[in-house]
Every structure is written in C-alpha cells, then in structure tokens.
Amino acid sequence: MDVDAYMAERIPLVDHAIEARLALLSETPESLQGAMRHLIFPGGKRLRPVFALAAAEAVGGPANAALPLGVAVELVHTYSLVHDDLPCMDDDDSRRGRPTVHVAFDEATAVLAGDALLTEAFAVLADGVGSDAEAQIRLGVVTKLALAAGAQGLVGGQVDDLTFEALGEAGSGSGTDATWLASIHARKTAALFQAAIVGGALLAGANEGQCSRLDAFARDVGIGFQIADDVLDADSEEAASILRLQGIDDAKDGAEALLVRALGRIEGWGEAAEPLRSLARFAIRRQR
C-alpha cells in the first residue's frame, strides 16, 4: 500500500475539520487566535489523527466516524508542543522551520494558547452527540483522551522526562534507567497514540476484543515511534535520550521488534486494516 498517497488523502480531511472548528472562535482575542493557529497551520504529518481514521476503517467503519477525535487529538498534540517549547521546558526557538509560539508572540500568550487548544479538544468531542448510545461511546473516548493527556499520561511523562534529561550524563545506563525511559515513552508519547487508535475504533463501532488488541498495538507503535524520533535526532545538539542507554543500532533493533509485535497483534484483520499496518511501518521506519 502507498502510505504517502493514503496520508495525502486523509490529511486534508483533518485540516478542513480543524479549520472549521477554529473558525468558530472568531470572538476570541486576535492574538490568541493567531497563537493557537501558529503551530497548527501549516501542520506536521497529522499522524495521530490519520491513525484514528485508519483504526475506524480497520474495524469496518467509515473514516469520518473518527474525524472529531482526529481533530481533538491533533489539538492536544499541538498544545503539548507549544508547552514543550517554552523556556521553562525545552526552551526551543524553532519548530517545523518557524519560530516557536512563545518567540513569535510571547511566553504568556503561548501558555494561554496551549491552554485554549487543550480545552477546545474536549469541546470538539462533546459537540454533535445524538443518541444516548452515541453519548456513552463519546464519554468513553473523552475519558481515554483525558487520561492520555493528563497526570497519568502526557503531563506525568513530561515531568519525568524533564527530570531524566536533567540527570544528563549522571544517568547510570542501568536497567533501571531503561525501564524509567520506557515508562516515559509510554506516557508521553504512546498514550496519545492509544487514545487516537482505540478511540477511533470505538467511534466506528469496535467491540471490546478489537479495542484490547488495538490498545496493545498502539502502545507498541507509540513507543517505537518515539525511539525512531530519538534516533533521527541523534545528530542534533542535544543527544537523544535513548542513545544515552544504548547505541543507534540497538535502538533501531528495539523499534523494529516493537513494530513486529504490533503487527502481530492485528494479524489476520484483512485488507481493511492495511492502512493501519502501513502507518505503523511508516511511523517506526521513517527516515525524516
């Protein structure tokens, strides 16, 4: 399957839905609107929302069933990047070839833009609910996204990541460090993949067994994606965290093993799951 062609078809759906949602915020301060949009457009690969759409298709539903979640997940992801770039966090001046939000605007506006993106994500999921049955499904999706984004997920993972990075070369490189780093990756990165993939499937009518397998699939893919990111950043000024514990070849082997395990979890799902499998391969084997 041509994963680039698949993404080229799905990304405009996500972009259009995000644009339509942000257009509803016309009465908010102009500077806040600009800061919220600064990192969203032009966006990145939209990988998490596209995974949500592919998960919906994998369980036999239409991709559009997962579109509200795709928008919500991308808003959460973008909020996390805005806050990660802040001087009190990673203190980055550029992202995607452009000034970061706190540089383009100011630090206070960047903080508030991140806050607004996060809360808007849950407003997206709360809107347009029809039947009681649909409301129950949406509630489950909201809960999973909230857990992924909160203290037990992304936020908690970021706290530990800051501590891990602060240790620098003081890290022992022991098995304890490796376990800690895996926990950070699971919370800071994989949890949002799990919310996107399982939530997308739920919105398309997935059953409990399918969701269980997709949850494990998404965790493996999310951790593998983060390892791939670390390897791609190996030549940057700040050494990638995984490479403090193991060499590049070992890291690549670990990511590939996670991919193999992930694909095994949805083995036999048929042609409908091929986009999901192709996205997993792309996420972990990408060269950029």
Residues pairing with 94 in the sheet: 99
> How buried is residue 122: exposed, middle or buried, by Cβ count under 10 Å (0-12/13-18/19+)?
middle
Q: Which residue has the tokens 């649909």?
A: 134
Nearest CA to 52 out of 258, 269, 187, 202 is that of 202
Task: Give the pLDDT band (50/70/90) at residue 168.
Answer: low
Nearest CA to 256 out of 236, 239, 231 is that of 231
> How buried is residue 23: exposed, middle or buried, by Cβ count under 10 Å (0-12/13-18/19+)?
exposed
pLDDT at 239: 47
Which tokens is 114 given?
């991140």
More confident residue, 251 or 206: 206
Mean pLDDT of the chain: 91
Distance, in Å, from the CA atom of 275 to the CA atom of 55, rounded to the nearest integer, reads 8
Which domains are seen in the chain, by residue range?
3-285 (1.10.600.10)
Distance, in Å, from the CA atom of 123 to the CA atom of 21, rounded to the nearest integer, reads 10
pTM here is 0.93
126 with 149: CB under 8 angstroms? no
- pLDDT tens-digit map of 193-248: 999 999 999 999 999 999 999 999 999 999 999 999 888 877 655 545 666 677 78
> Identity (one letter) of the amino acid at 102?
H
Residues 6+ apart with CB under 8 A from 24: none
Distance, in Å, from the CA atom of 239 to the CA atom of 243, rounded to the nearest integer, reads 7
Which tokens is 141 given?
């999706």
Q: Which of 43-52, 143-152, 227-236 has the lowest mean pLDDT?
A: 227-236
Kindly provide the residue ranges of all beta strands, DSSP E only, lying in the chain, ordered along the sequence. 94-95, 98-99
